[in-house]
Chains A and B, each alone.
Chain A
Amino acid sequence: MAPRNLEKQLNILDYALSSLWRRRMKSLSVLLVFAAVIFLLASFQMVTQALTDKASQVLAYTPEITLQKMSAGRQEAIPLAYRDRLAGIFGIRRVVPRIWGYYFDEVRLANYTVMGMDVREMPEGDRLDTALAKGTIPGPEEQGRVVVGQSIVKALNLDERNTFSLFRPDLSLKTFTVSGAFSRDTDIMTNDLIVMSLADARDLYEIPAGLVTDLCVYVANPKEIGTIARKISAILPGVRVLTRPQIQKTYQVVFGWRSGFGSICLLAALASFVILAWDKASGLSPEERREISILKVLGWETSDILAVRFWESVIVSGLACIVGMTAAYIHVVYFAAFLFRPVLMGWSVLRPDLHLVPRMAVGNILLILAFTVVPYLAATVIPAWRSATVPADSALGG
């Protein structure tokens, strides 16, 4: 029973293919529009996925807890003395002070991120050398030496020279010597970054001694993050305590929200496509009526014609999925999703040119299918039934 049934389905599939080919212009137009809709949705999904992945990669190296002092609801410098008040909490591996700020370069109209910290104090700090394309990380005693990201090298023309100057708030110049450059692999973190020693950053921003912008707390056991964060906020009530899992979830929510919002916008495109598909499928030409009548006279049943229509829909949506998803992949990987990047990413002027690699899990493919193929199949089923129930004698008599 089973092989005969299979053979029947294969023959019906064969017939569906030839019937699609006979109406190739109509099929092709539906296919192209469908592929375009899938392309838009799949690109969006892939960019979100890739950005979420990137964000979690980046966050893997951030400190477990970051402390910022709040005053009147805004962030301000935090006294170094707070470090000593955390000494009693077990489980804290290390507290590293950090000066983190932005520097707006008025000549090149670009924002740089300045990070002043003693990198050797970070756990794994010694391994930072591996993230460099050339040079070394300067030690704490080497004044005025910095490591820069790739787009800073480009913006400041640091290929030919290795010194540059930035303005202090009082417009006096501070000169830096480049001791190394980050490699392209870490662009999403280091592209617009200038890493210097704590003393240099304090000098550049004229931050008084004894103050930094934030304190990074490294925790030995990730399971204790929540407890330690609670203890810290009990000891230092005026301080904002940010934990890494919290930041991670926030990213997830933001990306999910943005991608959901994008999908809602694309739903309009989807709806118009469904109407098009419905319309194309219900317009039954006299030839099609005759074809179905002849099939019925030849002994085809309603269910066979429904099966033909089903296979036609499956072939069209399958091809459209392959075309649309491949195009989306190329768009995201080779063109860095230029259509959607402004929506999903931040506002920084020096935007890293990202190399996004979408990870296509089965779940994501299923998600895109649910968004596109399900409405399409649903839109074509009633027209398919209408065409399948054309009576055998309707087109032959006249």
Chain B
Amino acid sequence: MFLNPWSLALTLCSLVVLVLGAVAAKTAVRVLRFWEPGSDSNRQIRLENEIWLSSTLVAYGLGFQIMTLILFMLAADQFCKVIVGAMCATGALLANPFGMPALLVKLVGVFFYGFWILLHQLDIRSEHYPLVRIKYLALLLLLPLLVLDATLQTLYIAGIKPDIITSCCAVVFSDTPGSTTNLMTGFSQQGLLIAFIGSIIGLTVLGWTLLRRWQAWLADLYAAGWLWFFVLSLVMITNVISSYVYAMPYHKCPFCILKPEYHYFGFALYGALIPAAFFGASAALAGLVRGKAGLGGVVDRYQRLAVKVSLILLVIFSALSFYHYLKYLISGGEG
């Protein structure tokens, strides 16, 4: 179903990102082949100019990618109106096997572009550009991800036939026994809640300790903790938080909270969670390049900042996710 403004916009954005990525990759190949930090040849000066281009292109790519991620969600929400049986984005995304992978790749892509920009920012803080080779190797590795993203998205859009019967979110995430298309089962609500609160406390304590006394293994633990918490939060949002937002026990859907009916609550929720996980994980990643010439101080400063930012966002995220829950416990919910 390409003849639809949403599909067209998504395809257009993907094409733009691919073109930007291809131009950046051209620079990457040249840098990997000809980079000589000590030289003052014409080629080296040209290359030093070109790394500005590639970093700007990746920064734009990241911006566009975040935009397509949101656009993809909204598009799925539009598509559900033409797919028989789908009532929200879940049904639309499950309409063919490429929907969920496309979303996942987009989400992962946002993290990886972010990591690349972090590398770049660290690199230009040092006079020696110590990370140039690593950076451009990483850029070339990002390219397949871009292609995969565009391919999955195109396959998904091409595969949408406006008459396929799919399940709506009431079926997919419902916990009635016997429904076979359940996306997430086997989690007890109590257990999830305890794990969630425990992880929040654990992360806060870890972050606090790190800020007082920095230790490399603690930073790694903190990053791993964030990855765990990110996945846990997605499960938690789907299984517990969302139904409190909708004020409907059987409506468990991580996508409907993005709709205007729920005051775009999902944007605030994901808008806190995704950057928080990014900063939390990136502190350890930055630590990997601390040994390079001229980066020690820069990395230290960045790590402290990243841990602080992730802790602040964690507080915001926890407040947001418990808001509806506590409101329900205290005042009996909506109305």
The chain A residues found within 8 Å of chain B, CB to CB, are 1, 44-45, 48, 245-246, 248-249, 252-253, 256-257, 259-261, 263-264, 267, 302-303, 306, 310, 361-363, 366-367, 369-371, 374-375, 377-378, 381-382, 384-385, 388-389
Contact = CB atoms under 8 A, between A and B. Distances in A.
Contact of B9 (A362, A367, A385): A367
Contacts of A246: 84
B310 interface: no
B3 A257 contact: yes
Given A370-B9, A378-B16, A363 B56 contact: no
B262 to A, nearest CB: 13
Nearest to A270: B12
Contacts of B97: none
A257 B13 CA distance: 19
Contact of B12 (A363, A375, A377, A382): A375
9 contacts: A1-B305, A248-B81, A249-B84, A256-B1, A256-B78, A259-B5, A366-B74, A370-B71, A381-B60
Given A249-B84, A377-B60, A389-B49, A370 B20 contact: no
A378 B52 contact: no
B19 A302 contact: no
A165 B16 CA distance: 62
Contact size class for B?
A: 35 or more
Most buried by B among A248, A264, A363, A375: A363
A142 to B, nearest CB: 41
A370 B19 contact: no
Contact of A257 (B4, B52, B260): B4
A367 B84 CA distance: 24
A44 B10 CA distance: 17
Contact of A382 (B8, B23, B84): B23
A263 B53 CA distance: 31
A355 to B, nearest CB: 22
B68 interface: yes
Interface in B2-51: 2-10, 12-13, 16, 19-20, 23, 49
A385 B59 CA distance: 13
A48 to B, nearest CB: 7
Contact of A253 (B19, B71, B77, B82): B82
A306 B52 contact: yes
A378 B19 contact: yes
Contact of A367 (B20, B56, B74): B74
Given A302-B49, A381-B60, A370 B82 contact: no
B57 interface: yes
Nearest to A385: B53
Contacts, number: 101
B264 interface: yes
Contact of A371 (B4, B12, B78, B82): B12
B297 interface: no
Question: Which 5 pairs, one residue from A and one from B, show the smallest C-beta to C-beta distance?
Answer: A260-B3, A389-B49, A363-B74, A370-B9, A385-B53
Nearest to B49: A389
Given A263-B5, A375-B16, A381-B60, A252 B82 contact: yes
A134 B53 CA distance: 69
Contacts of A257: 3-4
Given A361-B260, A369-B67, A378-B16, A260 B49 contact: no
A36 B53 CA distance: 30
A249 B163 CA distance: 9
A269 to B, nearest CB: 13
A370 B67 contact: yes
A389 to B, nearest CB: 4
B198 interface: no
Nearest to A302: B52
A48 B5 contact: yes
Interface in B296-314: 301, 305
A256 B92 CA distance: 15
Given A252-B81, A264-B3, A381-B60, A389 B13 contact: no
Contacts of B74: 363, 366-367
A245 B85 CA distance: 10
Given A260-B4, A366-B70, A385-B56, A371 B81 contact: no
A260 B16 CA distance: 19
A281 to B, nearest CB: 14
Contacts of A306: 52, 56
Contacts of A48: 5
Given A362-B264, A378-B20, A367 B52 contact: no
Given A370-B12, A371-B12, A374-B64, A45 B52 contact: no
A362 B263 CA distance: 11
